[in-house]
Chain A
Amino acid sequence: MTAVQRALPRRWPLLRSGNLHGGWPSAFWFLLPALIGFVAFYLYPAIRGVYISFTDWNLIANEGDWVGTDNYDRLLDDSRVWDSLKVTIRYTVINIVSQTILAIGIAVLMDRLTKSVVIRGIILFPWLIPNVIVAMLWVWMLDGNLGIVNEFLGWFGVDPIRFFTDTDKVIPTLAGINTWRHMGYTALLIFAGLQTIPKNLYEAAALDGATERQMFFGITMPLLRPILALVLVITIVGSLQVFDTVYVATGGFGGQPGGPANASRVIYLYIYQNAFDFNQLGYAAAISVLLVVILLAVTFVQLKLLRAGESDLS
């Protein structure tokens, strides 16, 4: 141990132990490409976004004057912001609940029933299709007049369902589409988590006469918690940021994005409208800052509640 390392406080054991001794220069070079990308495409735009949120920035003219907290004052009085947050939360709840339950089910089935790589690959298929294509595909399939799904339902005497143009159904429909698209990917993450659970626990439980159901709730779910916490953080943050599916599916052919009657105007869409339709980039930036604060809070609370960093295995 060098003198420098000994002088380091106990709180930095990794550096003290000398694990990275001599590794820092190479670590730096490995991190550099990502670091440049992070600073250029995330950090600098983020900081500039916060600055723009204090201006009346005009996107087309690409200039704006400092207006202090005007945008934030306006935001607090703007019922559309809070309406769109409600829409977003409704979407997120439906999407996350259905997607997570289905993904756990698929992951457990993959783990317990099949070792086929082909089947595991097929489950990932929807996730490989670009969002915009997925949205357009479902718009055609679910259309009230011409869609194949309603044609099929019609054979069983079901009246056409207006999936995208009924104000009550549009959000569940969009949430369902994204569940379809993402459940395979989420299942794969959970499947990876399942591999960390020692198989001998199941063998022991089986010897004691436990049923599959008891093993699922007694072994799988508790030991899956850290992975599930990570998966939930990623999917909830992603879900709260839904945009492309909504924009394409509700506005692509005939309607207005976010329609009908603003029933699917999620917060990202409202930010987009302000920035690119209304040319009010300053106000859009202020709503974005609000969204960042909300996302940070949600993530922090989730990590705390789910004790994401701890495992029950050790």
Chain B
Amino acid sequence: MRKTIWRLIAVFIALTLVAAACGNDDDDGGAGEAQPAPQATEAAEESAPAPTEAPVEAVTIEYWLWDGNQQPHYQQCADDFTAANPNINVEIVQFGWGDYWTNLTAAFASDSGPDVFTDHLARYPEFVASGVLVPLNDYAARDGVDTGAYFPGLAELWVDAEGNRYGLPKDFDTIALVMNAGHIADAGVTASDFAAAEWNPDDGGSFQELIAKLSVDANGNRGDSPDFDSSNVEVYGMGLEGNFGAFGQTTFSGFAASTGFQFLDVNPFGDSANYDDPRLAATIDWYVRMIDAGYVVPIEDVESLGGTTVFQNGSAAVMADGSWKIGTYIGADTPFDVEFAPLPTGPSGSRASMFNGLADSINRSSDNQEEAWQWVKHMASADCQDIIGGAAVVFPAIPSAADIAVASHQANGVDVTAFTVHVDEGTTFLFPITDSASQIEAIVGPAMQEILRGQADAADRLSQVADEVNSVLGS
């Protein structure tokens, strides 16, 4: 009986295999020799060039973004845009950061998805390499868009090695220290102490003295006291973001760069990274020593629920974070007052903050690329950026609009100049742009986790990492 059933199953599988094989032959029959599916889709795309709609016919542009805080304000921009262009409707779709990229990848793979989407510097080179973005040079030249209207450097980030532009800037972000006002007052420290602080990777400078003073153990001893118990800390002087990362945007990057360290030989689109730079190893080593000393929160404590949660819980006195998080820290989720201070001055004699900017890109599979461009152009214009600035959610890419954002925060009693001082004083460095950001993240991220746990030596591990990264970049 049993054998019979097995044989029936075998017959069934054999029959379906034969059926599937036939079906498969039919599918691939036309182009069995070379790349069946893609040829067909490309041919279809070429035979149907994008803007075929009559201009009077109303079209709907689908626009994706990930920051829910910005959605209502972009909706305002969209309403104004539709009022001025009655034939173009804009439908805004928002996904959380993680889902956003997964959905976008799926959309590209199936030649569908949004007409326009918010793009990130860590991702766009891979999209360019896959040929899914529309170059904007011709549109920008035709309509006389002035790319010099933005903060210096922002517009150039979106031009690839061949000179093709794939995005128009909409905002920028920098890094500063966010401080628990109660904790710093208890320690007798002020925001201006941090603004004046100096840091170096050897003894940590006056910055290290400040975070030592802010650390409190279970017995109430502060970190600058000989009785401080580093194994039983109640409040850490400095918190950490859980994903320490390969580029350390909100963690080590500002400190490392203030030593003169640079991520890439050439940015954007360098073909070799400098992870074996001894100044980087020294910076990471400093973090390891600070964790041992009980001045910086152990990485194990922030990886699970995230550094922001730990900071909001009152377990860390200060923390480096990005300007896009200002709303989180001044909002209801943070149950105490905060103040902001710029990152400390490093051995190079100046501070350093990573400078990142978002832009809007057009999906090549959009059927309405002309209308999509009109929407991109509107979002990158002062008309829309002034609205975004007035909402005080992010810093717009146009300086006058960014001033509006600073003023709106000021009107709410929040001083955010700690973030803008990096731009005003020219102490920013650009987000490292490569076409393998996610692979570099997967190589360097876990190595950093080992180093911060004391499971590997910073210099040794980072020089191994450098070889791996450079083989990815070189390939």
Give A contacts to B, CB under 8 Å.
11-14, 31, 35, 38-39, 43-44, 47, 55, 58-66, 139-140, 142-146, 162, 164-167, 253-256, 258-262, 273, 276-279, 309-310
Contact residues in B for A44 (Cβ distance below 8 Å): 20, 23-24
Contact residues in A for B54 (Cβ distance below 8 Å): none
Give complex CA distance A146, B305 in Å. Answer: 9
Give complex CA distance A73, B20 in Å. Answer: 28
Cβ A261 vs Cβ B20 within 8 A? no
Give complex CA distance A44, B455 in Å. Answer: 45
Cβ A164 vs Cβ B304 within 8 A? yes
Cβ B132 vs Cβ A143 within 8 A? no
Give complex CA distance A140, B299 in Å. Answer: 17
Ordered by A's residue number, 28 sampled pairs between the chains whose C-beta atoms are within 8 Å are A13-B4, A14-B4, A14-B8, A39-B16, A61-B38, A62-B37, A63-B35, A63-B37, A64-B35, A139-B305, A143-B304, A144-B301, A144-B304, A146-B309, A166-B300, A253-B242, A253-B305, A254-B303, A254-B304, A254-B305, A254-B309, A256-B449, A260-B446, A261-B453, A262-B446, A277-B438, A277-B442, A278-B439
Closest Cβ of chain B: how far from A274's Cβ, in Å? 9
Closest Cβ of chain A: how far from B209's Cβ, in Å? 26
If A43-B16, A165-B304, A309-B2 touch, does A253 touch B309 (CB 8 Å cutoff)?
yes
Interface centre among B23, B242, B447 (most CB of A within 10 A): B242
Instruction: List 11 extra interface pairs beyond A39-B19, A279-B438, CB under 8 A.
Output: A11-B7, A43-B17, A61-B108, A64-B35, A143-B305, A144-B304, A254-B305, A256-B243, A260-B300, A260-B446, A277-B442
Cβ A261 vs Cβ B450 within 8 A? yes
- Specify which of B37, B131, B302, B439 is in contact with A254 (CB 8 Å cutoff): B302
Cβ A253 vs Cβ B304 within 8 A? yes
Cβ B450 vs Cβ A162 within 8 A? no
Contact residues in A for B347 (Cβ distance below 8 Å): none
Cβ-closest chain B residue relative to A145: B301
Number of B residues near A (Cβ < 8 Å) is 57
Contact residues in A for B438 (Cβ distance below 8 Å): 277-279
Closest Cβ of chain B: how far from A120's Cβ, in Å? 29
Cβ-closest chain A residue relative to B241: A254
Cβ B300 vs Cβ A162 within 8 A? yes
Cβ A60 vs Cβ B305 within 8 A? no
Contact residues in A for B102 (Cβ distance below 8 Å): 276
Q: Is B310 part of the contact surface with A, judged by Cβ < 8 Å?
A: yes
Give B contacts to A, CB under 8 Å.
2, 4, 6-8, 12, 16-17, 19-20, 23-24, 34-35, 37-38, 41-42, 102, 105, 108-111, 126-127, 130-132, 241-243, 299-307, 309-310, 313, 315, 436, 438-439, 441-442, 445-447, 449-450, 453, 455
Give complex CA distance A61, B38 in Å. Answer: 8
Contact residues in A for B111 (Cβ distance below 8 Å): 62
Give complex CA distance A111, B313 in Å. Answer: 48
Give complex CA distance A31, B8 in Å. Answer: 13
Contact residues in B for A140 (Cβ distance below 8 Å): 305
If A253-B309, A254-B305 touch, does A259 touch B38 (CB 8 Å cutoff)?
no
Contact residues in B for A143 (Cβ distance below 8 Å): 304-305
Contact residues in B for A14 (Cβ distance below 8 Å): 4, 8
Contact residues in B for A276 (Cβ distance below 8 Å): 102, 105
Cβ A255 vs Cβ B304 within 8 A? yes
Give complex CA distance A65, B34 in Å. Answer: 7
Cβ B305 vs Cβ A261 within 8 A? no
Cβ B242 vs Cβ A60 within 8 A? no
- Specify which of B126, B242, B301, B446 is in contact with A279 (CB 8 Å cutoff): B126
Cβ B243 vs Cβ A59 within 8 A? no
Cβ-closest chain B residue relative to A165: B300
Contact residues in B for A310 (Cβ distance below 8 Å): 2
Cβ A59 vs Cβ B439 within 8 A? no
Give complex CA distance A120, B99 in Å. Answer: 37
